[in-house]
Structure 1
Amino acid sequence: MTAADPDTVIATARSWLGTPYHDQASLKGVGCDCLGLARGVWREVVGPEPFPIPPYSRDWGESGPREVLAEGARRMMPEIAPADAPPGALILFRMMPRAIAKHVGILTGPDTFLHAYERLGVIEEPVTPTWRRRIAFAFLFPKR
């Protein structure tokens, strides 16, 4: 599976900057959550979503042993080691130690990423040491 052009992924992701945060949404300029941002970038860069995302609760990742996001990404994206993730990669974060990965971002540079964050919407910010420690998985968007 060939990876999508990272510059296209980054430009597409940045076109979502300023989109308000809205749980379970995925509409550029209207509202999205972190998964909705990734879904929207997928639609623009790769094409139609390969499977529907079932409704999820705000605390969906607080319990259970399954890495639901990583399992879903593995079905359609090449996985790479987080340390090798280049700009344009989708990254999954563990928000608490030993918890499953439940937050999604897109690297926009070696030390920056874009994500949808509650109360802030879609923002681009530095990959601080705290954020870097939380990266659990990384994937590449496939070519259309």
Structure 2
Amino acid sequence: MTIVPVNERVLAIAQTWLGTPYRHGASRLQVGCDCLGLIRGIWRELYGTEPEDAGTYSRDWAELTQDEPLISAARRHMHLKPLSDMQAGDLMIFRWRDGVAAKHLGIMAESNRFIHAYEGHSVTLSAVVPQWRQRIAAVFAFPESC
């Protein structure tokens, strides 16, 4: 039996979500998801159940807190990596602007691209252009098992 590394499994699962419509707070393949819902769906396929309840959240939740809920949750369940070690299958967390909690998520793909969902679009593959790269707040690797 061949064991496929977790980062390759993450990327393969993320690719199945391409084209899933954007739906705030949702996490259903080909039905709808937001950026967190995409990561939740990948996690469920990898490990069976989500590690904690995401609860409900408003579109402007990051503007209402000084905490870092996404980064804190990722630290509890994943492995923090230096940006320089980022590879396909890693979780990318983005901060839109200084002084506000990081609030966007994506999965690094090959060829300097990443998979993510954002309002007004379906789950899509985007280039990691300088405007995206400068907003990366943290990078995490999925665990081999949970």
**Which of the five TM-score ranges fits, normalised by the shorter chain?**
over 0.9
CA deviation after TM superposition for structure 1 residue 101, in Å: 0.5
Q: Is the 8 A contact 1:91 1:137 kept in 2?
A: yes
One-letter amino acid of the structure 1 residue matched with residue 19 of structure 2: G
CA distance in 1 between partners of 2:6 and 2:75 (Å): 19
Which runs of structure 1 show a deviation greater than 2 angstroms over 4 or more consecutive aligned residues?
Answer: none
Question: Which shifted more, 107-116 or 24-33?
Answer: 107-116
CA deviation after TM superposition for structure 1 residue 125, in Å: 1.0
CA distance in 1 between partners of 2:14 and 2:56 (Å): 23
Alignment of 1:1-144 (within 5 A): 5-144=6-145
Q: Is the 8 A contact 1:86 1:110 kept in 2?
A: no
Q: How many residues align?
A: 141
- Give TM-score scaled by structure 2 length: 0.92
Greater helix share, structure number:
2
- Give TM-score scaled by structure 1 length: 0.93
SS in 2 for 1:43: helix
Structure 2 unpaired stretches of 5+: none
CA distance in 2 between partners of 1:119 and 1:130 (Å): 19
CA distance in 2 between partners of 1:136 and 1:9 (Å): 20
CA deviation after TM superposition for structure 1 residue 110, in Å: 4.8
SS in 2 for 1:92: strand
Residues 39-63 of structure 1: per-residue CA shift (max 9 Å, x gap): 0001112321111111111100013
Structure 1 unpaired stretches of 5+: none
CA distance in 1 between partners of 2:124 and 2:103 (Å): 17
Q: Is the 8 A contact 1:46 1:142 kept in 2?
A: no
SS in 2 for 1:56: coil
CA deviation after TM superposition for structure 1 residue 22, in Å: 0.2
RMSD of the alignment, in Å? 1.1
